[in-house]
Amino acid sequence: MSQAPETDLAAFQAEVRAFLDEALTPELRRLTARQAGVFSEGELCRRWHRILYEQGWVAPSWPKEYGGPGWTPMQRFIFADECVKAGAPVLPAMGLQMCGPVLMLYGTPEQKAYFLPRMLSGEHYWCQGYSEPQSGSDLSSLQMRAVRDGDHYRVTGSKLWTTHAHYANWMFLLVRTAIEGKPQAGISFLLTPMDAPGVTVRPIISISGEHEVNQVFFDEVRIPVGNLVGEENQGWTVAKALLEFERGGGAAASGLRAQLRAARAIAEAEGWWNEEPAFRLRWTQLDVELLGLDVAERQTAAALMAGRRVGDATASRLKLTASTLLQRITELGMEALGAYAAVDQREALGMDAKAAPVGPAYALTPTAKYLNSRAATIYGGSQEIQHNILARIILSS
């Protein structure tokens, strides 16, 4: 794959910035900045999705034939980076980044024709039904049973920690269609509308006070066989391909830098910055480590650009670094707040509550962000699982 000249990338970056300046109204920025969740809340996502869709930029990684902009990995990285810097709402990954590419690879022509345009336009809002009460890290032990009944499956069981299930109108899910043989060999990948009779969504309120995740119960839910993706009992292959799409192209460093700057602004307002050399030392150390993450993310985008795969070791290392830095940075934000460590304390800190946020996103919510980020070393593959992957790679090399 040929490299785009630097000047083209600079022009592209300027185009993205000009668009974001225009499209991100003060209201959208303010609403985004007040949220601490992994993704922005549903209504905000729908609004931002629509704006990006109309611009033709909502699915940066999709090929042109399916309505994507046909960007290179480096353009995708620049776009993601500029969005974070500008404080744009964070769209959920479940549809466009997870289910979409899987359908392109394994979907029937009918499934592609029906689902992909609706995913792109935002008419369908997706959630991911993988984890269950007894199956998370060891996903292949999942128990949700799907029994074939004519041209339908009857599905009973429950899914846990389902992000944005309360906003979604569709779910992709893994079910057990066979109990004999290896656990991986009896799994199938299905798609269901969330308003199918027998589906119940129960909220789980997180420690930060937000409603992001849910438990979803299935009671004899009928899912048409036409909504099976890939072959019956081949769902593990499909599920693994989906996890591959999650890798690479991320731009976590910019968002983290915004939060680190917010911690400094609070410390300055509170007087710690000048009085506490230990605070400044920790801040500087995090700043340097962030630079390392930034370089690693850019190198990953460059590797993808050159047509190379992102290996397990790189993916695990990036996930580990980004999630632990997030936790340490939000911890510093809490320390900077000191006795004021409660949600949205700009006014209490004597800062102008109406002024532009200190950092683009999350600056108003250090405490909520701190609490929310405790989950970062669990979702998307826990810290221990990433350590296991790295250990296996090192020991077998």
Ligand X SMILES: Cc1cc2nc3c(=O)[nH]c(=O)nc-3n(C[C@H](O)[C@H](O)[C@H](O)COP(=O)(O)OP(=O)(O)OC[C@H]3O[C@@H](n4cnc5c(N)ncnc54)[C@H](O)[C@@H]3O)c2cc1C
Query: Which residues of this protein are in contact with ligand X, per CB under 6 A?
Result: 128-131, 136-137, 161-163, 213, 375, 378-379, 382, 384-385, 388
Q: How far is the CB of 2 from ligand X (least distance, A)?
A: 37
Q: How far is the CB of 384 from ligand X (least distance, A)?
A: 3
Toward ligand X, which CB reaches closer, 32 or 163?
A: 163
Please check whether residue 8 is in contact with residue 183, taking contact to mean a CB–CB distance below 8 angstroms.
no
Q: How far is the CB of 124 from ligand X (least distance, A)?
A: 16
The helix/strand/coil state of 241 is: helix
Give the residue closest to ligand X by C-beta: 136
Q: How far is the CB of 331 from ligand X (least distance, A)?
A: 18
Beta strands, E only, the chain: 126-129, 145-149, 152-160, 170-176, 187-193, 199-205, 211-224, 228-229
Toward ligand X, which CB reaches closer, 36 or 363?
A: 36
Q: Which DSSP symbol is given to 60?
A: T
Span between the terminal Cα atoms of the chain, in Å: 29
Q: Which DSSP symbol is given to 228?
A: E
Toward ligand X, which CB reaches closer, 29 or 319?
A: 319
Toward ligand X, which CB reaches closer, 162 or 192?
A: 162
Residue 301: which residues within 8 A CB-CB, separation 6 or more?
73, 74, 76, 77, 248, 249
Toward ligand X, which CB reaches closer, 148 or 387?
A: 387
Cα 253 from Cα 329, distance rounded (Å): 11
Catalytic residue among 232, 244, 246, 276: 246
210 is catalytic: no
Nearest to 92 by CA among 29, 194, 164: 164
Q: How far is the CB of 359 from ligand X (least distance, A)?
A: 22
Tokens describing residue 181: 């043989």
Active site (catalytic) residues: 246
